[in-house]
Structure 1
Amino acid sequence: MPQLFESKDSFKESFKNAVSDACGRDFEDTYPEERYIVLGNMIRDFAGEHWRETKNAIKKSEAKQLYYFSMEFLMGRLMTSNLMNLNIYDVVKDGLKDLGMDINDMENIESDAGLGNGGLGRLAACFMDSLASLDLPGHGNCIRYRYGLFKQKIENNQQVELPDCWLKNGNVWEVWKPQHAVKVEFGGYVDGYMDGYGKFHAQHHPDFVVRAVPYDEPIVGYHTTTTNTLRLWDAEVDEDSVNSGTLNEYLNKVTAITANVYPDDSTIEGKRLRLTQEYFFVCAGIDQIIRSHLRVYPSLDNLGDKVAIQLNDTHPVLVIPELMRVLLDDYFYDWDDAWSIVTKTVAYTNHTVMAEALEKWSQDMVRSLLPRLYMIIEEINRRFKYDVDHRGLCGIFNNVSILKEGQVHMANLAVVGSHSVNGVAKLHSEILVNDVFKDFVTIYPNKFNNKTNGITHRRWLLFSNPQLTELLEETIGDEFKTNPEKLEDLMAYVEDESLQNKFMNVKLERKKILAAYVKETLGIEVDVNSIFDCQAKRLHAYKRQLLNIFHVMYLYLRMKQDPSFRIYPRTFFYSAKAAASYDLAKEIIKLINMVANVVNNNPEISKYMKVVFIPNYSVSIAEILLNAADVSEQISTAGKEASGTGNMKYMMNGAITLGTLDGANVEIVERVGYENAEIFGLRVEDINELRHENSYNAWNLYNSSYNIRMVVDSLKNCVWSNDPNEFKLINNDLMMRNDEFFVLADFDAYCYAQEKVQARYMDKNRWAKTMLINIAKSGYFSSDRTISEYAKEIWDLKPLSFED
């Protein structure tokens, strides 16, 4: 350990001197932001020693490495987690305190890195943490977006999108690596020639070239030397390619590539920009892998033995044709040899069964933007058809073709070009095999597998809930910190009333922290003794925030009608962003906020319930919200949520799952038992039957159920707004489009499940026992388990060893 972190006193002296030297002023005259930057640099430099040792260990042992390609990495704030992982948190915390500083104030200066939107990025961040903490050499590959998705404000009850300038103060964790810049080529045309052996040599003549410049961040393992790399690519001008006559147009095109995550794709230009982004970071990432490999090995023949590439959803699937292009055009491999290397190297994780989320690009667009890759995709598809036909399966080819109906089907390309295809929860993987990819299973019966998602307990328990961590350590020791499945040891104590009371006090403390945040930021006072009922996740119709708020509306309307009907006090928390162009989702946010206004301002009913919408959902907000929850709302339409990881974070902090049998909820219930969760609603098979028979009719439910009719009618009869057309999109989605996600079908069952939740809560000891059981059974859902399965069963990745 560096001397400066060996003791509190040595840290204080080094820190004060470093701040004064960097700022050119006495320490007392410097600003908190300046001190934060210096502290971050000191931490990164310490991590840099481990970073160097990790690279040397990889080189010396010739270890196989993983490269994880993802459009998102939502890492959250890194200062405190890095200090904890480096095992210097207490030294720094105590040293700062002596200097009159609070370590939490230091962390609050840091912005959440705007590198994503939702669960995909939070999962990738958990995986990076687990890889390093398990001593596995695995690195992330993404875009260095200058702006995050957007910063959400609520004005006049509606979502307003503002720029998320997360880089405005720089990023203290990154290291600029201009020496590793890569040229990325777009557009133009391809020609070539046949050599004397009948081999075609392609030559691409691009009309648009940019430089991809990497910025590297250390990913620090927990109490271990292993420090991996998250490489983020920024787009810069390629001076050799600038035509002075079109300079402004060129600069705008370059800037747009890394401006923000998921640009609006409702236009042709937006779609083209998204495809440009995807190829940009894929091309740069593959170039990095090839160059790194050839610094150690004489050829690429053994690439599949030394490199594993994991595609996190369909966004990076261009890895497959791009790696083929490099092998064919730059290193002159024959097709079969190149294809063998690609398919041995690449694996694909599917994250959705939603047809609209399985990416498809216009063939004309791909041909225009990526002419050489399009030629390769055509050849992959031709050879794939030949293979399918010769297996006697020609009748299914149209279902599995990569090119059809004028589109390039990226999920199909991913399946064909990968040696492994996995889902992210048991139910999700079953749906992939039995429905989404069932024809592929006929062709590749051994290619499909399941890897149930997980979360890093280091961030979502040790870091974000120190009060619960301390109680667990007192009760079962500290082994769970490095082996989360040791949380199971808590089962021996769940009947202990003393522990139950201590746990409820911890939960109350976390609820007070959330209540203080809500009071400070929103001016809303909430009852910390009420049931905290939370749904925090991306806003989408299938996640059914609408079902949740309909229940709130039902309670309000019933209490208004019947003064004798009252509930146990409850606070309903929501936090969600809606895509800027997703009008229905934005209207649901507006409904939640308008219902909140009515409920919270009713002097009688607000004694029994409050509604709180926390804007700008992020990792940092989740760290405050999830561990305060009593009830975890996981109510997606059965068969639509691939896995979910929020359900696991709530579970690990003791919240009880109120949910459908969807995604990882199924496996949560398998572990805790139905008596320790509250499951309701239609199953996948029920929904499939309704769809198959075309027998679902929202109007029949509306006409036959007084409660449903009361809630739906309230959208139009000026209960929540003076404008009867305020919620026209919602009404039309339910009644004119026949309630695609079965909100009305599950409404009565959901309300009954909520009644049972309230009844359970009345018995506080039973409730505490149930929460403790959820914590005890949550260790399985650590991303350490998930990553260990990937490493063993897909990547063949081994832990690093470090010589003294």
Structure 2
Amino acid sequence: MANTLEIKEQFKEDFKRRIVERYGRPLEQAHITEKYMTLGEMVRDYASINWSDSKNAVAESKSKQMYYFSMEFLMGRLLTNNLMNLGVYDVVKEGLAELGIDLNELEDLESDAGLGNGGLGRLAACFLDSLSSLNLPGNGNCIRYEYGLFKQKIVNNEQVEVPDQWLSLGNVWEVRKPKHAVDVKFGGHVDMWMGEDGKAVVNHYPSLVVRAVPYDVPIVGYDTKVTNTLRLWSAEVADDACDAASLNEYVNEVREICRNVYPDDSTEHGKKLRLKQEYFFVAAGLNNIIKTHMETYGTLSNFAEKNAIQLNDTHPVLCIPELMRILLDEYKMEWDEAWNITKKTMAYTNHTVLSEALEKWPIQYVQELLPRVYMIIEEIDRRFKYALSHEFGRTDLINECAILKDGQVHMANLAIVGSHSVNGVAALHTEILKNDVLKNFYEIYPSKFNNKTNGITHRRWLLYSNPQLTKLLEKTIDSDFKKHPEKLENLMKYVDNEDLQKEFMEVKMERKKILAKYIKDTLNIDIDVNSIFDVQAKRLHAYKRQLLNIMNIMHLYFKMKEDPSYRIYPRTFIFAAKAAPSYTFAKEVIKLIHCVADKVNNDSDVSPFMKVVFIPNYGVSIAEILMNAADVSEQISTAGKEASGTGNMKFMMNGAITLGTMDGANVEIVERVGMENAEIFGLRADDVALIHRENSYDVWKKYHQNPEIKRVVNSLIDNTFSSDPKDFKLIYNELMFKNDEYLLLADFEAYVHAQNRVEERYKDRKGWARMCLVNIAQSGYFSSDRTIEEYAKEIWNIESVKM
């Protein structure tokens, strides 16, 4: 106890001294942002000792390292995360309180790091947390974006994008490392000739050189000393401005590389900018890794034995030809040796079954921006086609599997050919890849394909964001689950305990009140905390079917208006979603949600029983208060379209019931909790595939067969929800004149029935609480710790670091 007291007193003295040293004034006169920055710097300093020791331990043991290349890392706020992982949260909170400072107020000043868009980036962040917490040597590589995706505002019921200036206060967690800067070359031309030793000599004369400067962020493990690194690359002016017409032009060309996450690619300039971004962080990261390796070992012959590189989706796939370029041109390796090293080093994670999401770059762009890299891709493609014909005897697949075809570079094909492992992210997803989307490649390389079902870090999504539930679990099953999430299964012994059921519902009510207060404070909407909180929170896309959700709400509205005796159990429907700026359909759905909300929430006949809420600017910090307040988790994508999903796991871990299709990781959730502890509806993936294959679905037939469907669809264009005749015409046309591509009307009746069943089940409070507890008990499997252990053993071959 004395030791804790001493630490607290020392912290208070250090904090006061640091304020004076940094800002030249005493604590009493310091601004709240100065207090936040000072605290952040102190926490980073606490972490830095372990950070340095971790690097030394890896170097001394010559451990194999893994590098996770991803265009996104949605880390969320790190202040609370780092304080808790370091084990000093309570001491710091008490110390600050004694200085008259509320830690929660400082926490609220931290912006979510604007390093991504959605699930891809949040998964990467969970993986980094698990790597450090499991003592595994794994680091991230990404771009240090100047602006995040965008801040979403709703104006006149429409999404408006405002710049996300997440760096306005600076990033207290990062350390600039200019000595590790790398020059990245674009454009120009390549000269090749045969040297005296008979080996090719290659000279690239670029038209643009960009200085890539790393900013390192410590990734603090939970209750461990291991601290890994997220390296963020920033584009700066190089010493030589190359052929730029003017300095201003050059500076702007350099700055725009890291200005935005996913620049608008509806223009040629935007497409080229995205390609530049992808090569920029790939080239910088790889050059750095190779330099570190050479300093340690002095040879690249063991590169694949000491380094693993995971490609998170197709964005970093240029790692493959870039590593080849370095080995061939800079280290004068023969092709076969370089190719062997490259394949053994690289592993690829596929995240989508949607063909439009499998990146393809016009050959012309790659030739123009990356002339030497394109030459290497050409040779990879030529050799692959030769192998298809001569080694595999599959000339029939040459055109289908080619890397270069139809004037484009097919990045997924390049990823599969150049990697030793190709994994899906849920069991169903991997089977769809093997049997459909990547069927031809699976026939050629069956041993490359494997499944690694996604996971979430239970530390952020349970321990930190839901302390009330964590405390209840500790009281019931002890605290082992904090380090070993699989031990949540011990809760199964108590799911029938009525006292526990009651306590759980009290915890859920406390979390619902916190969310209700947030909604009142930010949107000035009063919601009934005794109602069912029905939540759909995810990126807005047609296949995720937010439209199906709002169509059911429209249906309920009509039923209650027409029949005064028909009333539902009070329900609050909560949406949170961003639409891509150029995705017109998705933005129109957001407008529809708001127009329906206006109608429902302002109708005194209906609003006591139903409220519709849209929470704008959805991100990690909002998710942390939203997901643990939900009663119902809407996971209603068209079966076979969602690779995995991780929101479903976060809701599950916090005791929400999945209302969903048999898609993505929903399938595995249901396998673990049982059909009786979820609400599953709709077409299965096989049904959807058969419908598309046989072209057997007729949306108009469905429309005419069901008067309730007809009424809801007609209301899109009959001024029920908007007086502007142009509103929702696009949605109507997508449904009715594109044959309802994502089968909303096909699943509509089943969805309505499922919603009715949810209501009936919720009325049985004990039965509902039992279902929630079963979901929590079975959620340990979906910890990213389990996922990372599988990657580490089966793909990366890395082992824990001894500190």
Do they fold alike, i.e. is TM over 0.5? yes
Paired residue for 1:282? 282
Q: Deviations over 1:780-803 (max 9, x none)?
A: 00000000000000000100001x
Is 1:385 equivalent to 2:412 in the alignment? Answer: no
Secondary structure of 1:25's aligned partner:
coil
Match of 1:760 in 2: 761
Query: Are 2:256 and 1:256 aligned?
Result: yes
Shift of 1:283: 0.2
Give CA deviations for 1:426-480 in whole Å, capped at 9, x if unaligned.
0000000001111111211100000000000000000000000000000000000
Q: CA deviation at 1:563?
A: 0.8
* Residue in 2 that maps onto 1:133: 133
What is the alpha-carbon distance in structure 2 between the residues aligned to residue 204 and residue 367 of structure 1? 13
What are the superposed Cα offsets for residues 47-66 of structure 1, whole Å, 9 maximum, x if unpaired? 00000110110011000000
Q: Distance in 2 between matches of 1:316 and 1:298?
A: 26
Q: Which amino acid aligns with 1:643?
A: S
- 1:351 matched to which residue of 2? 351
Q: Is the Cα contact below 8 Å between 1:4 and 1:10 reproduced in 2? A: no
Measured against aligned partners, the alpha-carbon deviations of 1:177-224 in whole angstroms (never above 9, x if no partner) come to 011110000001111111245422221111011100000000000010
Name the SS for the 1:19 alignment partner. helix
Within the alignment, does 1:46 sit opposite 2:84 as a pair? no
Question: 2:437 aligned with 1:436, yes or no?
Answer: yes
Q: Which residue of 1 aligns with 2:402?
A: 401
Q: Distance in 2 between matches of 1:761 and 1:647?
A: 19
Query: 545-554 or 391-400: which moved more?
Result: 391-400
Cα deviations across residues 579-626 of structure 1 (Å, max 9, x unaligned)?
A: 000000000000001100110001120000000000000000000100
Name the counterpart of 1:88.
88
The residue identity in structure 1 corresponding to 2:366 is: V
Matches within 5 A, 1:122-201: 122-201=122-201
CA shift in 2, pair 1:599/1:244, >3 Å: closer
Corresponding position: 1:649 with 2:647: no
Distance (whole Å) between structure 2 residues aligned to residue 620 and residue 692 of structure 1: 42
Query: Which residue does the alignment assign to 1:14?
Result: 14
Contact 2:4 2:91 in 1 (8 A): no
Q: Deviations over 1:759-793 (max 9, x none)?
A: 00010000000000000000000000000000000
Q: Which residue of 2 aligns with 1:73?
A: 73
Is contact 1:671-1:777 (8 Å) kept? yes
Query: What's the CA shift for 1:21?
Result: 2.0
Q: Structure 1 counterpart of 2:81, which letter? A: S
CA distance in structure 1 between the aligned counterparts of 2:101 and 2:491, rounded to whole angstroms: 36
Cα distance between partner residues in 2 of 1:640 and 1:244: 45
Q: Which residue of 2 aligns with 1:203?
A: 203
Secondary structure (helix, strand or coil) at the match of 1:257 reads helix
Write out per-residue CA displacement over residues 464-504 of structure 1, whole angstroms, 9 at most, x where no aligned residue: 00000000000000000000000000000000000000000
Say if 2:207 and 2:244, in contact at 8 Å, map to a contact too: no
SS for the counterpart of 2:20 is helix
Report the alpha carbon displacement of residue 399 of structure 1 after superposing the two structures with TM.
Answer: 1.0
Q: Specify the SS of the correspondent of 2:296.
A: coil
| Kept after mapping to 2: 8 A contact 1:648/1:781 | yes
Determine the structure 2 residue equivalent to 1:712.
Answer: 713
Distance in 2 between residues matched to 1:75 and 1:283, nearest whole Å: 23
Superposed, which structure 2 residues align to 1:718-733 within 5 Å? 718-733=719-734
Is the contact between residue 158 and residue 590 of structure 1 (CA under 8 Å) also seen in structure 2?
yes
Deviation at 1:724, TM superposition (A): 2.7
Counterpart of 2:246 in structure 1 is: 246
Give the counterpart letter for 2:432 in structure 1.
Answer: I
Q: CA deviation at 1:295?
A: 1.0
Q: What is the identity percentage for the equivalent residue pairs of Structure 1 and Structure 2?
A: 66
Matching of residue 783 in structure 1 with residue 777 in structure 2: no
Partners of 2:352 and 2:358 within 8 A in 1: yes
Q: TM-score, normalised by structure 1?
A: 0.99
Displacement after TM superposition at 1:657 (Å): 0.2
| Partner amino acid, structure 2, of 1:301 | S
In 1, Cα distance between the equivalents of 2:262 and 2:783? Answer: 28
| Deviations 1:599-655 (CA, angstroms, capped at 9, x unpaired) | 000112000000000000000000010000000000000010000000000000000
Counterpart AA for 2:533: F
Query: What letter corresponds to residue 237 of structure 1 in structure 2?
Result: V
- Distance in 1 (CA, whole Å) between partners of 2:719 and 2:439 is 48
Report the secondary structure of 2:342's partner residue. Answer: helix
Checking the alignment, whether the CA contact within 8 Å between 2:207 and 2:243 is kept in structure 1 is no
RMSD, matched Cα: 1.0
Q: Deviations over 1:1-52 (max 9, x none)?
A: xx99952222112111211221111111111100111111100011000001
Counterpart-to-counterpart distance in 1, 2:236 and 2:765: 59
Whole-Å Cα distance in 2 between the matches of residues 710 and 259 of structure 1?
A: 46
In structure 1, distance between residues paired with 2:433 and 2:386: 24
Contact in 1 for aligned 2:208/2:243 (Cα 8 Å): no
Q: Distance in 2 between matches of 1:426 and 1:458?
A: 24
The normalised TM-score by structure 2 is: 0.99
- For residues 291-690 of structure 1, the aligned pairs below 5 Å read 291-390=291-390, 391-690=392-691
Contact persistence 2:145–2:234 (CA under 8 A): yes
- 3-state SS in 2 of match to 1:777: helix
Are 1:186 and 1:369, in contact at CA under 8 Å, matched by a contact in 2? yes
Aligned partners of 1:177 and 1:687: how far apart in 2? 51
Q: Partner of 1:266 in structure 2?
A: 266
AA aligned opposite 1:453: N
Moved over 6 A (4+): none
AA in 1 matched with 2:335? W
Q: Which amino acid aligns with 1:635?
A: I
Provide the secondary structure at the position in 1 that maps to 2:447.
coil
- Deviations for 1:125-180, whole angstroms, at most 9, x for unmatched residues? 00000000000000000000000000000000000000000001100000000111
For 1:323 and 1:45, the matched residues in 2 are separated by 35
Instruction: State the distance in 1 between where 2:454 and 2:633 align.
Output: 17
Counterpart residue identity of residue 98, structure 1:
E
Alignment partner of 2:663: what SS? coil
Cα distance, 1:243 vs structure 2: 5.3
Asked if the contact 1:127/1:787 (under 8 Å) is kept, the reply is yes
- 2:98 is aligned to 98
Paired letter, 2:590: I
